[in-house]
A = this chain, B = another copy of it.
Amino acid sequence: MINKKSPIPLYYQLEEHIIELIEKGELRPDDALPPEREYAEKFGISRMTVRQAYTELVNKGYLYRLQGKGTYVAERKIEQPLQGLTSFTEEMKARGMEPGSQLIHFQINPASEIIAKQLAISEAEPVYEIMRVRLADGVPMAIETTYIPANLIQGMTQEIVNQSLYAYIQENLKLRISSGSQVIESSIASQNEAKLLHIGKGAPVMLIESTTYLENGTPIEYVKSVYRADRYKFILNINR
């Protein structure tokens, strides 16, 4: 569990261990963690080292502390630091709507200049291109085109895409998503967009371009979305 010989810092090993317990569901929201002193004794490390691991996890939003009581697993709220890194599926569920999806195409193409730049790969490297109409309660909400470097996630199938890509990345590939950037702008629906979204040509739409990165800074996906402005608002909460 904790390897004192490893060059990986002890507090970091403990962090990973606890995150794993949470992700496996062995620790559920509001469960108490062992007291700092107990963990310290159990692993033969000092209390301050346990404390450092707990503190980082509190900062990252995995845990919360109550003085005099203990340290507990935090709820993974959508509103909080996850904001902007959630998938369409999670977001719609959080808004109380039933998410759906309609595949337009699923192909592997060589990366265009723009896509290559966004994904930090060379031009013409293969990328998955997945275009879907996203539904909320059965009504078209957005057109979403996702680009993923094929070398990063090999053998991806349509099935995976229809599940949660994020969950797949975390569970099967043991990679953790850590940051993202988004550009949001207003525009007007083209003929084709209008048709797919069941709105009139020239109706207002919201364009969202979003790039997601792993912990080491590698881009994992680049998504271009066209949302119906009459049904979608982008909500952002910030806490310093």
Contacts and interface: CB of A to CB of B under 8 A. Distances in A.
Contact of A234 (B60, B179, B185, B227): B185
Contacts of A35: none
Q: Which range holds the interface residue count of chain A?
A: 20 to 34
A179 B240 contact: yes
A70 interface: no
A229 interface: yes
Interface stretch (A78-86, A141-149, A152-160): A78-86
Contacts of A67: none
A180 B238 contact: yes
A78 to B, nearest CB: 12
A15 B239 CA distance: 18
A183 interface: yes
B186 A205 contact: yes
A100 interface: no
B81 A181 contact: no
A179 B235 contact: no
Nearest to A205: B186
A178 interface: yes
A187 to B, nearest CB: 6
Contact of A181 (B60, B178, B188, B235): B235
A24 interface: no
Interface string A188-201: 10000000000000
Interface of A: 59-61, 81-85, 177-188, 204-206, 227, 229, 232-240
